[in-house]
Amino acid sequence: MSKTSGKAFHSYDKYVLRKMADYQFGEGIGSILIPDDIIIEKSKKTGKIRRIILNGKVIATIRARDGLIALTIYGAEIIRSKTCPPKMRVVVMNEVADMIKEGRNVFAKHVKKADPEIRPGEEVIVVNENDELLAVGKALLNGEEMTLFRSGVAVKVRSGVKEK
């Protein structure tokens, strides 16, 4: 992977990433997730953006198969700390928080609340009842279904906070 060089290219890449984040996560998230001091790593082979780094930590990657942003725990924490609930959040019962932290999937029966804007396939932030980050993953149900269903997986967890 190569780091982006040249201010003009870097500015354009940041602009594109901010627009992608706004499209994918909602208006305003682009400026929260993609500050001016990020480092962008691109694939040497294709020249496409692969990783977004802030303060030496990867905050997100760009998925090769669909070009969407996949958050890391660090990136999810940035969004969680700078947005108000229920934005992008799936709130689970405190009793299952430790299992979710270890990277286990979220079952619908454990969901207390969920952002009604969540759609299946979207990136979500999993938090406990105190709004503490537990994991990041992909929603398998919409926000309303997560709170209504009593069985099945609501969120396929990609990474829990204890997995770091």
In sequence order, which residues have a C-beta less than 8 Å from that of residue 139 and are 6 or more positions away? 90, 118, 119, 120, 121, 122, 123, 124, 146, 154, 155
Q: Which residues of 105-123 are buried (b: 16+ CB within 10 A; e: fewer)?
A: bbbbebbebbbeebeeebb
Taking only the tens place, the pLDDT of each residue in 95-148 is 999 999 999 999 999 999 999 999 999 999 999 999 999 999 999 999 999 999
pLDDT band at 6 (very low <50, low <70, confident <90, very high): very low
Q: Is the pLDDT of residue 8 over 90?
A: no
Compute how many other C-beta atoms are within 10 angstroms of the C-beta atom of residue 50.
18
Determine the pLDDT at residue 96.
98
Closest CA to 137 of 149, 151, 148, 123: 123
Contact 90, 118 (CB under 8 A): yes
Nearest residue to 76 (alpha-carbon basis) of 90, 56, 96: 90
pLDDT at residue 10, rounded to an integer: 76
Q: Are residues 101 and 47 in the same domain?
A: no
For residues 61 and 67, the answer to whether their CB atoms sit within 8 Å is no
CATH (domain of 18)? 3.10.450.90
Is there a single domain that holds both residue 46 and residue 116? no
pLDDT of residue 157: 98
What CATH number corresponds to the domain at position 147? Answer: 2.30.130.10
What's the pLDDT tens digit per position in 45-59? 999 999 999 999 999
Q: How many domains is the chain built from?
A: 2
- Tens-place pLDDT, residues 36-45: 999 999 999 9
Residue 1: strand, helix, or coil = coil
Of 39, 71, 103, the last residue of a domain is 71
pTM of the model: 0.90
- Domain-located, residue 38: yes
Domain, as residue range, for 25: 2-71
pLDDT tens digit sequence for 75-99: 999 999 999 999 999 999 999 999 9
- Does residue 78 lie within any of the structural domains? no
**Which one has a higher pLDDT value, 99 or 1?**
99
77 located within any domain? no
93 & 60 share domain: no
Q: Looking at residue 59, what is its pLDDT?
A: 98
